Amino acid sequence: MPKKIDRLRFIEEMIARFPQVKEEILDEDYAGSINLQMGVFKRFTQESIDSNNTLLITACFDFINSVFHTVTFDVENAIIITYLGHLNFLENKDAERFLPARLAEVTYSIKRYQNREPNEGIKQFLKSSERE
């Protein structure tokens, strides 16, 4: 079984492909936190989505797709929660079509989870909290 790509190697590969994010990714405030570093890449991707830079959108998605199932759990979790879970396609719905099938499926699952109805126990808890 090949060795999984850890956080440090993932960040090295990201910087090699996208030198534009190097300074912020390596900022001392983000160093050591894959979620904060992934947030930097999410914002970078979001800017390309918002400006409809299709070459950059494709490059970002292709990079994430190429490593998605080869990274360690912490990196995969950051990709799912911090990256895919926070990309916004409202201003450019066409950009969603550039998501590779595997990432589109994960993104759809996240949206479905985020839009689900809370169960009865949660509804009752929230209702009782409003009365207090």
| Secondary structure in 3-state letters for 3-63 | CCECHHHHHHHHHHHCHHHHHHHCCCCCCCCHHHHHHHHHHHHHHHHHCCCHHHHHHHHHH
Please tell me the pTM assigned to this model: 0.84
Position 119 scores a pLDDT of 66
What is the mean predicted confidence (pLDDT) over 116-132?
68
Specify the pLDDT at position 94: 95
Sketch the domain layout of the chain as residue ranges: 7-131
Residue-level pLDDT at 17: 98
Number of Cβ within a 10 Å radius of residue 77? 14
Q: Are 5 and 72 in contact (CB under 8 A)?
A: yes
Mean pLDDT of 52-77: 97
